[in-house]
Amino acid sequence: MNTEDIIALEKKYVMHTYGRQPLALSKGNGALVWDVDGKKYIDCFAGLAVNNVGHAHPKVVDAICNQAKKMLHCSNIYYTEEQVVLAKLLCEISSYDKVFLCNSGAEANEGAVKLARKYTKKGNVICMDNSFHGRTLAMVAATGQHKYKKGIEPIPQGFKHTPYGDVDAVAEKIDDNTAGVLVEPIQGEGGVVVPPKNYLKELKELCEDKDILFMVDEVQTGFGRTGNMFASEIFGVNADITTIAKGLGGGFPIGGILAREEIADAFEAGDHGTTFGGNPLACAAAKASIEAIMEENLTDNAKKQGKYFKDKLMQLKKKYGIIEDVRGYGLLIGMELNIKCGDIVNKVADKGVLINCTADKVLRFAPPLLIEKDQIDVTLDVLDEVLEKVS
């Protein structure tokens, strides 16, 4: 089928929940993807910060193929080697004690809130304005953006919101029924918003002082995306609970909750579960992905190429008045404009580069961590061309 055929079938048979670009992708390799009509693109979006090790990474592909020949799925009523090996690896790279494996970031955040309530025996969680934690009903409630709540009321209760970056505002919201705080170290969907320098440290200190849990959503920022294995490392904090997904599986769906032992032990048999979470195939893919990140020093490459990318975008900022700001860490970079950026994304795609628009006016760049300098240069040349015409 060609692109037109696929789009026609999608319109007829698929629920229209996505604002799609008119592209039908068929394959990828490294930081490149091709559509069904054979056109090549530099992928600077990486499946929404999922393909951290690139498309079709040989180590991940081999792990999936080898595991598929043995076992795809196993109920969590039984033990599997793949699950415990991955859990051990996650604890080793994160300094946590226990892991719960699930299928997505939203599910991980749901589970984290559930664990926090079970451990503290308190109901409320303080979240941030402009945040994003997932599409389930409870995580829409946790998300600090009204547009995701519109039309699906009533919204579950138990979530309070305060301005991102304001520790005093959080302190004012804490009461006798506060279980903890849930925060993104960098707000990805909110527009790649970077917090004030000491915000996360002060927030953790506040949580410790008030004896509530400090929970960090690393779904988009984890596994080398920001130039560190976890973005929390940039800000020098260790959370009580951290949620993960996206880059964990090298493109295969998997999520998880990381927690200190005394918190994790609040969950007893039957308190929580998932049919597909921690299945052998997902665990094999995740183990291979993490090993690739470490063996190929992709966190270092994210720092190096991210700095180069960001510096070049700053040069464009000096050139074009429509650019308000350039921010981010590693290969999670946002360029904020003073105009809506959806049309720019389409024009850039026409020239063979895939980027993303978030928060209406922020161009988001989140390429695979193995992207090369010459691919970044092509991306910048294309963006320069497009910005020159719209400025």
Annotated active-site residue in 45, 100, 214, 217: 217
Q: From the candidates 45, 100, 132, 252, give the one annotated as an active-site residue.
A: 132
Nearest to 188 by CA among 130, 267, 136: 130
In the residue annotation, 246 being an active-site residue is answered as yes
For the question of residue 132 being annotated catalytic, the response is yes
Angle in degrees, 0-180, between the axes of helices 373-390 and 342-350, rounded to the nearest 10: 120
Distances from the Cα of 81 to the Cα of 67, 278, 283, 294, angstroms: 11, 11, 9, 21
Nearest to 116 by CA among 15, 7, 225, 259: 259
Question: Cα separations (Å) of 156 from 132, 137, 140, 175?
Answer: 16, 7, 9, 19
CA distances from 132 to 49, 67, 115, 191 (A): 14, 33, 19, 10
Closest by alpha carbon to 183, among 224, 130, 136? 130
Relative to beta strand 353-354, strand 332-337 is unpaired
How far is Cα 144 from Cα 132, in angstroms, rounded to an integer?
6
Clarify whether 360 is annotated catalytic: no
Nearest to 289 by CA among 27, 54, 24: 54
Look at the block and give the residue holding tokens 């390799």: 29
30 φ/ψ angles, rounded to the nearest 5 degrees: 65, -120
- Positions annotated as catalytic residues are 132, 217, 246
